[in-house]
Structure 1
Amino acid sequence: MSEIDLDQYLGSNDPHFNVNAQGWYFEFTGHKKPHCQISFETFVAAVHEAYHFVLQNRDKPFACLNLLKSFPEKYRLLEDDHVVIIDRLLGALSHHPEFADLRIPFMQIVDYRHILKPYDQDEDIINHRWEFDFDILKQEVNKLTSTNEKMAYIVNTLTDFRQKMPAMDEITTAYYLDTQFIEKCVSEGKRIQMLDQLRSGQAYAASIINEGKTLEDKKLVMEEILRYMSGFNHAGRKIMKEDDYQLLLSYTVAYLETENVPVITKRLPQLEIPIEYIRYSYYLIHKSLYGTRKIKMSMIDFLHAVFSQFDNTEKTTTKIKFSTEPKTYKADTGHQ
């Protein structure tokens, strides 16, 4: 491929792509070339094709995924070549001005990248220096005594993170977005404020707490408890497809709005977690929002309507075992 051919990639009509392409060019021609065998010409042609396809098909995540799956044969790629192309693509998309509209195909690509080369087996990830770590943040916050000190620590960390994020490389950006660092920090801040309110006597019982909760407050509780379902189980398998996870969230929000079973257009297939985990997760939602003095039968009905996994279980059994915590639930889900 000639230098003239490269001009279409380094000087295209898309300024955002051009900036990234220039950086990749210096990366490939410098002393820190990525761990791959392909030439820069092949690399940039593949990323250019995928980048523009995603922009034009942002509502078609599986079409984007199928395109990437065709690349090894089309461009004669080795596994490391394929991973490098996907990592650089994710980096360009993560900083795109319209990233909010690209999030669905982006997360689908992140999942595919993890399947190709699991992050916990990737030397670039294992040896990477993570400046921001949510578990460490929680440890530091727990050392502080007052709510104001804890909130200040979280706010200062998020401010620092947002200032440094534009300069992060593709692997780092994809890692933080995939692990939802910002969302976890925000949820932790709201959790601390809620606990402070409870300790100060602003609410006395779950029924009273619920009266003051807006739908957004309820969604926050629900999303925090169900978030683990968007990830992987202890065996490294995806718990559920991203579109099924988003459907589950929409069903649950609809339930929280009316406390009745919403219209179910599609039931969810078998998840890669035991039925006990699903049941207990919704018990935690019930406990947080409605208390445990009287279990709402409508939530039991909701579980049986949404999850096909409950087909061979009686509703009375679900209600009786509703509050039974699975032995490894906390370890597997990260809930405390």
Structure 2
Amino acid sequence: MKADNPIYFFEHILTKDGINSMIKKFRKKYLSGEYTISSINEESLNFTIFDTDSEGKEHFYNVSFQDFLKPLMKKEFYNSLSLIKQYYQREDISNSGYQKYLNSIFNEIQYLINNNLKILRNHPYILAPLEELIIRINEGYFYGLKNDFRIDTRDLKIQQKDYMTNPEIVDAIFGYLSGYNEKKEKIMDDSQFDLMISYINYFVDNLDMPQLKGTIKHINITKELLRFSFYVLHKELYGTNKRKRELYDFMYLVFDDFDKNTLSENSLHSKFSVCKDIQNEGFISPIIRDYLDKR
């Protein structure tokens, strides 16, 4: 049944009707007239959107079907984890019975891959959450039952492993702040770094303000780079979805560098993705540097 099947969503989008339905929703979102489209790449399903900020400055940014689908897949991935755990609790079965259930999930994922090669070659990023699900099963995420399942993707002739959990995304983006800047200065105190990461992880998981034990003091990077780091976080978590204004409130309340007395909310919002004055220095996280390379 749909409600009990932990990989129903992926079964659906790996059908011709399912993936076409998602593409139709993507097109409807951006081609309905709400956005000004500058260019369209039909083959790769990439749109370039034109926008003007409150100061009259023009901005262009790209949106892709992959960006559109990624938050949905992330949501369904965590739903899959929850359903698999609930099965053990609901059925009150033995470990051996639960192992058979995990076996059936692996077999179904392998079946999906083997029978939907064309869709996966066109949209290889769909494979990533399924691979991550198998990793969780192998590592004993479900009640300590470890396995050694290995997905066979040789027929796909692709390599796809870009799916990260939320804490991994936070670490990949903000990990560089525990090191040194281009002047060989310590960017921030270790205790401040740990506190910042705990705040960000709480916000990402709950979309709400953590209970503050203190603000994050001045960080030895530019405000522009710190702001852009949060833009990358938003992009990685939510793709092209509408900006979450709660993130601006979080930045103002947590960081002394974003003091509302010296930086207006409108300024933070309008310049959120601006990076033209940021130097692509070697100390910056690779994931941020990739975004800077695209400007």
TM-score, length basis structure 2? 0.43
Query: Which has the larger share of strand?
Result: 2
Q: Which has the larger radius of gyration?
A: 1
TM-score normalised by L of structure 1: 0.38
**More helix, by proportion:** 1
**RCO higher in structure (CA 8 A, sep ≥6):** 2
